[in-house]
Structures are given as C-alpha cells and as structure tokens.
Amino acid sequence: MKLTERLRREAENIWERIFNHPFVVELYKGILPIDKFKFYLIQDYNYLVTMYKCLSLLSAKADYKTARVTLELAYLDATTEIENYNKLIKKFNLTIDEVTKYEPAPTNTAYMNFLLSTCSLQPLIEGLTAILPCFWSYYEIANYHKEDLMNNPNEIYREWGSVYLGKDYIKIVEMLRDLVDRIGLDYSYERLKYLFLLGSRYEYMFWDMAYKKESWPL
Amino acid sequence: MKLTERLRREAENIWERIFNHPFVVELYKGILPIDKFKFYLIQDYNYLVTMYKCLSLLSAKADYKTARVTLELAYLDATTEIENYNKLIKKFNLTIDEVTKYEPAPTNTAYMNFLLSTCSLQPLIEGLTAILPCFWSYYEIANYHKEDLMNNPNEIYREWGSVYLGKDYIKIVEMLRDLVDRIGLDYSYERLKYLFLLGSRYEYMFWDMAYKKESWPL
Amino acid sequence: MKLTERLRREAENIWERIFNHPFVVELYKGILPIDKFKFYLIQDYNYLVTMYKCLSLLSAKADYKTARVTLELAYLDATTEIENYNKLIKKFNLTIDEVTKYEPAPTNTAYMNFLLSTCSLQPLIEGLTAILPCFWSYYEIANYHKEDLMNNPNEIYREWGSVYLGKDYIKIVEMLRDLVDRIGLDYSYERLKYLFLLGSRYEYMFWDMAYKKESWPL
Amino acid sequence: MKLTERLRREAENIWERIFNHPFVVELYKGILPIDKFKFYLIQDYNYLVTMYKCLSLLSAKADYKTARVTLELAYLDATTEIENYNKLIKKFNLTIDEVTKYEPAPTNTAYMNFLLSTCSLQPLIEGLTAILPCFWSYYEIANYHKEDLMNNPNEIYREWGSVYLGKDYIKIVEMLRDLVDRIGLDYSYERLKYLFLLGSRYEYMFWDMAYKKESWPL
C-alpha cells in the first residue's frame, strides 16, 4: 500500500465526518445559507495567501523536479486562484480590500499557523504532508457529493464545487500525492501520520468554523 | 505613554478575564483540582520547548545588544526552566519521556504555531511582541493574587507561583518590555496591537484549555 | 531618478568592466575557447538551482502581486530554463548527473551563499536587490555586444546570447526593476546600494572565475 | 573511529597548511606586523556577529539537550566574547562604531554567507559541521604553537592566543565535537565531509585574507 493510501486510511473517520458536515452537505445540495458561504469565502482569502507562501517555502527546500510541482501550484494560487476568488467575491459585492479587513477566525488562524510553521521550520516532506489533506479532501468531497452537485440549484455553489472534479484539479492532487509517496518513503511514519491527521482535523474544523461563523471567545 | 503601556491598556479586558479565570483563581487560592494542574503541566512541556526555539529565532534576527537578552532567556529556558520542570513533574510521578507522549491540545497547538510562525517568518519586533503577553501576564497574575499566594495551602502551587514575583523574573519582564519599547517605535502600531492582543487571547485560552482539559473535537 | 537607475549608476564602473571582460567579449565575438564556456556552463547548474530557491524564499515574503512575478520567474527557472540547460549541455556531451558531480568553484560558492543568506534571512527588498544585477546585466551585456552577436560565427554562443535580447527576457528585467522601484522606496538606500554593488561585483567575478577556470586554493 | 576524527583526518592537509600559514606562525612567534593583526581584528567583528546568529539558528532546530550547548555558545559569543573584543580593539584605539564602518573583505563575506545559509536552510547537523572547523582549529593552532606562545614577546598576541588553550575553550570544542559525533551518525558522510572541508578551507583562506589585507578586486 502506498504511503498516501495508508495515511488516508488512518484519517477515514475524520474524512467521513468532513463529507457529512452540514456545511458541506448543504453547500453541495445548494441549500447552505448564503451568509455562511460568505463567511467561508472571507476566511478563505488569508488561507489562499498562506497557501502560496507555504508552497514557496517548500519549493526553496526542494530539488528542481519537486519544485516544478510546488512552484506551479504556488503560481496558480497567486494568479488564477486569486483572480477566480476576486470574481467570486464580486458576486457578493465584496472587494479584496474589504475582505482583508476581516480578522481571521480562531480555527483559520490555528490552521494557517500550523501550515506556516511546518513549511517554514520542518523538512520538505513534513510540509507536503501537512498541506495534502486540504488539496485531496476537496476532491473527495466533490466526488462524494457528485450527484448533488449536478442537481445543485445554486449556480454559484455549483460552479464553485465543479472545479474540484475538473481534470486540472485531479491532476494537482495526483502530483502532490506522488511527491509524498516518493519523498516520504524513509521518513518517520508516526510523524507524517500526526501531520496528516492534524491537517485533516483542521479541514473538518474549518468547515465547522464557517458553519458556526466562529468568533474569538474574547 | 510607552508602547508597551499602550499595548497593555488595549488588552485590559482580556487581562482582567485572565486574572479572574477559575484556573488562575483556584491555583493561587490553592484549591485547584490537582488533575487540572497536571494537565496544565503536561501541556506546558511542548510550550517550553517552543519558547526557546522562538527566542533562538529572534536572536538570529537581533543585533548583539538585543541578542544578549533573547539568548539569555532562551538559555535559561533550555536549562534552569527545563530542570525545574523536571523536578516539578517528578512530584506528580511523571518523567519527560512520559510527558512527550501526550499530544498538544488544540489551544496549545494553535498558540505554539502562532509563536513559531511569527518568530520564524516575521521581523524581530513582531516576534518580541507576540511572546510578551506570556512573560508579562505571568508576573501580573502573581501580583494580582499576591495575598492568596502567601496564604496558599498547597505547597506545590505556592512555590510555583512565587517564581513569578521573584526579582529575576521581574527583571526578565522589564528587559523584554524595554526591547519592545525600543525596537517597536517606528513599526506599524496596528500590527503590534494585533499580535499583542492575539498573544493575550491565547494566554486566556491556554488557562481555559487546562481548566476544561481540552481535547480535539475529533 | 528611479531607485534602480540610481543603483545602476553607482555600479557603472563595475558594469563597464563586466561588458569588457575577455570572457564576455570573446563569447559575443564567438572566439571564446570552448573549454572556458564549458566550465561556465558546469558552474551555472548550481547557480540555476540556487536562483529558483532564492525566488521561492522571496515569494514566501511577498504579497500576492509581487509573488506573481517572483513565482513566475522561479517556475520558469525550474522548468524552461533547466530544460534549455539540459539541451545545451547535451551539445557538450554532458548530462545533469555528470554536471552535479563538479564542485562549485570559490566565486560561485560565495555568490550563491550571498544570494541564499540574503533571500533567506533578510527582508524581501534586500533579496530582490541582490538578485537584480544578475538578471539586468545579462540583458545589458547582450545589448552592448549586439552587433557582435549578430555576426557571431559560433552557433551555440549566438543562440545562447540571443535569449537575453528577446522580448520575454526584457520583460523579466523590467518586472524585477519595477518591484525594486516600488518596494525599495522607503528602505535604507545605503543598504540597497551595498547589495546591488555586491551583486554586481559577483557578476564580474563570476565571468572572471570562468575565464580562469578557477579552482580552490587548497 | 569517531565521525569527527574521520572528518579531521580528511582535512589533515588543509590543517597542516593552516598551522604553517605565515599569519599564524608570525602571530604565535610575536612577530606579526601589527597592521595585519588589526586587519584581522576588524574583519573578525562581523564574523563574531555572524557566529551567534548561526548558533541561534541551530538552537531553533535543536532538541533541548543540544540547544543547551548551542545557546550557551551563542550567549557567550554575544556577551563575553564581544566584551573581550571591545577591550582588545580599544588597545588599537578602535571602537565598535568605527569597526562596523569597514566593509567585510571577499573571503570573510564568502565564509560568513556559507555559515549563514547552511545554518539557516540546512538541517542541524550540517550547520554544526560547518562551524566546527572554526572552533576546533583555533584550539589545535594554539596547541601546535604552544611553545612559541609561552615565549611570545608581544603581550597582546600572547593573551589572545592563550584563550584557546584554556579549559573553558577546550570544553567548548569537546561539546561541539560530541554533538556532531552524536547527531551526524546516520547522516550522509559525503555531505558532512564536503562541509567540514569547506569550513577548513575558509579557515585557511581567512588567515590568508588577513595576511594579504585582501580587498575587493573592484
């Protein structure tokens, strides 16, 4: 069994709960209250910025074959994805300048700092493993709710979700999994498992944060 | 008004709630259930390790006058403090090897990654401001509960709290405040305020985590 | 006068000596002994790898508008440029595996470590300023020797040099200059001047290293 | 044979040349022209600052047992050593403010950037191996010239050299060697050899730089 399959199996319980989280279910059914989605979107901005920074930090640690992948992802993030993001928030009458005024919620803050400190201070394989649940679970979520997605009456949600079933996105997930499978082979499995589970937990908690429109306790 | 006084004033509400958090109150009165204190201690191990790493990262960014302070603190952390920690956990029949087996709780994980990513990726002054609420609030907590401390019937708690009213500790807080006052002068106040408030929030949440013996939601 | 024009003027003496260094002159005339060019090429491999690492480190410090540029350059470096490099060394019956066995010469080692330590440990603008002389001077060298280039009897040299007069390359130089002009505005001019001159010196010394096929003194 | 003994043996030729370099020989005999020593001292300031930064970067990567050593060395560097340095330059009518105005010479620049980029971007063991030749060779140099040292007619030189035969200094070298022996066991020997030899080369080149009062070629 490949390393990423093994990691995926360890996280099965968490991923099942992700697939069935009300935010995810309602989003794919097209019945998620718009204010919850807007909250998610606003939180996602800082996450997008964090992700290209993490991928850049990993590229600086990588040989050029690995850097081809991480740099491509980082570049896509800072260009296409941020452009798409701009178009999307415009539909909610938001601009990037407004979005940046919102403070990251506790779970988002915790997740971003987990990714940043791992990608900055730990070896390449640890960072790759930490970012994997994010990329991978978005595909699996879309695949799990494929039928709901096709019948999704909310055009914005339908378009949003369809991206994660597109060829380009599937290729991204495969490239990342290949990197982890290749580079993680001789690395401490326990450590990679810890990071993969933590990333998976944060994915669940991120959806939950958005559903509850989480704020700081003080 | 000095920069650190101004920051302290902004955080007044949070600090008041720290002083009056049941964990803190019961600890200083000597009536905190021992299992809650033990939970706190176990969580504190990874925090101690994180702190000397953060201080090391800051020292690498500092001129030698500033590095004298941050390196002294880092060295004390990795020597005296970890030795004292060892003695303390022995009283609970714990060893470092056992302690390291416990997984950091969500709030502790979030706080440590906030400190690590700030000290690693941001300018010196941001890291100094992020770690300040931890050092400073421990003194103020002890000072606020000074009378309770003197009458504290629990010897372990009394000894533990007395450290933060000692001359050496007060000097540490002053040195750190001086650094922030000196280095932060021309830096974005809004950014430093954000970091100081976030550090203060995490301090409150850390006590709360220990009181509730927080665990991961999944 | 724009910041980069001012920096360029400070380095005028050094750049004049670069334009007229025998390696450069003979290369553009097509009379450079092939063993010297081969030495240059072999040294260039580690430099190429260093450059995408530096650009990645800078991207991790940059806002997304700046990161679009630095990530694009990093990605081009790790893909197109390394592919072109592969094709070029094949003409000398070399493979990447062989090239990586050569040890970086003293000047190359010094230059790469200057770029890496600056891009890793210093603020964004310092790293951008350190890498600028490399990108910029290659265009100016080609422009200075434009006529020789057109009449260059050595096909390999002619192709190699023509790249630096191409639209794509000129755009890269302009993008980098724009970044420095925009971001460096409020930064210590003395420090940027030091870095720009040091980068320029290393450019001169790199050509000289290749001409002399420099080796370690021991 | 321990790892550090093996590395030391590989560098034997280089170290022999260090022991017999005219700067070293004349310094220990007390006949080194004072302007050469002053040049060395001025260059040494930036090196001292670089060293505590490198040791700080390593401490941030280390477990607390290793960090005890690296933080102690970093703290000594930024306190005692810089104080001793201050006293020493005063004897040459120099102040730190004046010293910082001198630009680092090429070899010093190259050596410092080698240490900084290694300690910043590479794993702990690589940084420890890169800094080892500096600490270790200073002891061996003093030991090699022990007799000359005792009869050294120049009081400044005699005092300066005696430090490296002191118990405290010998203990530092032993602690560092122990770290490398312990941590380097399962690491690529070829890579550690490369770093140890490069550090040794730079040590030789540093003495040579001072003897020639090296300046930039342009």
**Span D121-139, average pLDDT:** 98
With contact defined as 3+ CB pairs under 8 Å, the chains touching D are A, B, C
Q: How far is C142 from chain A (nearest CA, A)?
A: 27
Low-confidence ranges of chain A (pLDDT < 50): none
The model's pLDDT over D140-174, given as tens digits with 9 standing for 90+, comes to 999 999 999 999 999 999 999 999 999 999 999 99
If contacts are CB pairs under 8 Å, which of residues 198-217 in chain C contact chain D? 198, 201, 204-205, 208, 216-217
**Which DSSP helix (H) or strand (E) runs through D131?**
helix D124-144
Q: Which pLDDT value is given to residue A176?
A: 98
Q: Which pLDDT value is given to residue C118?
A: 98
**CA nearest C58 in B: which residue?**
B121
- Per the prediction, chain B carries an average pLDDT of 97
The model's pLDDT over B153-182, given as tens digits with 9 standing for 90+, comes to 999 999 999 999 999 999 999 999 999 999
- A61 contacts on D by Cβ (under 8 Å): 121
What's the angle, vertex CA B173, arms to CA B171 and CA B179, rounded to 5? 100
Q: Which pLDDT value is given to residue B9?
A: 98
- A60 contacts on B by Cβ (under 8 Å): none
Give Cβ neighbours of residue C49 (< 8 Å, ≥ 6 apart). A63, A64
**Residue from A103, A117, A209 whose CB has the most chain B CBs within 10 Å, to mutate:** A117
How many A-B residue pairs are in contact by the CB < 8 A criterion? 58
Q: How far is A167 from chain B (nearest CA, A)?
A: 32
Q: Which pLDDT value is given to residue A105?
A: 98
Q: Which pLDDT value is given to residue C107?
A: 98
Longest dimension (CA), chain A: 49
Contact A57 C53 (CB under 8 A): no
Q: Which pLDDT value is given to residue D192?
A: 98
Contact C59 A74 (CB under 8 A): yes
| Chain A contact for C78 (CB, 8 A cutoff) | yes
- Per the prediction, chain D carries an average pLDDT of 97
**CA nearest D55 in B: which residue?**
B60
**CA nearest A107 in B: which residue?**
B110
Beta-carbon-side half-sphere exposure of residue A168 (alpha carbons within 13 Å) = 7
Q: Which pLDDT value is given to residue B159?
A: 97
Architecture of the domain made up of C3-210: Up-down Bundle (1.20)
Q: Which pLDDT value is given to residue A74?
A: 98
How is residue D118 written in tokens?
A: 């290694």
- Which residue in A49, A53, A64 is closest to C78 by CB distance? A64
Q: Which pLDDT value is given to residue D2?
A: 98
**Which DSSP helix (H) or strand (E) runs through A154?**
none
Architecture of the domain made up of D3-211: Up-down Bundle (1.20)
The model's pLDDT over C92-103, given as tens digits with 9 standing for 90+, comes to 999 999 999 999
| Chain B contact for C118 (CB, 8 A cutoff) | no
Contact A208 B216 (CB under 8 A): no
Contact B75 D71 (CB under 8 A): yes
**3-state SS string for chain B:** CCHHHHHHHHCHHHHHHHHCCHHHHHHHHCCCCHHHHHHHHHHHHHHHHHHHHHHHHHHHHCCHHHHHHHHHHHHHHHHHHHHHHHHHHHCCCCCHHHHCCCCCCHHHHHHHHHHHHHHHHCCHHHHHHHHHHHHHHHHHHHHHCHHHHHCCCCHHHHHHHHHHHCHHHHHHHHHHHHHHHHHCCCCCHHHHHHHHHHHHHHHHHHHHHHHCCCCCCC
- pLDDT band for position B4 (50/70/90)? very high
- D72 contacts on B by Cβ (under 8 Å): 75
| Chain A contact for B193 (CB, 8 A cutoff) | no
- Per the prediction, chain C carries an average pLDDT of 97
Q: Which pLDDT value is given to residue B162?
A: 97
- pLDDT band for position B40 (50/70/90)? very high
**Span D179-197, average pLDDT:** 97
Give the burial class of A37: count Cβ atoms within 10 A of its Cβ; 0-12 exposed, 13-18 middle, 19 or more buried: buried
pTM of the model: 0.98
- Closest to B51 (Cα-Cα) out of B4, B3, B116, B123: B116
- Closest to B122 (Cα-Cα) out of C191, C114, A113: A113
DSSP symbol at D91: T
**Span B93-108, average pLDDT:** 96
Q: Which pLDDT value is given to residue C111?
A: 98
| Chain B contact for A116 (CB, 8 A cutoff) | yes
Q: Over the range D59-75, which residues count as b (16 or more CB within 10 Å of their CB) and which as e?
A: bbbbebebbbbbbbbbb
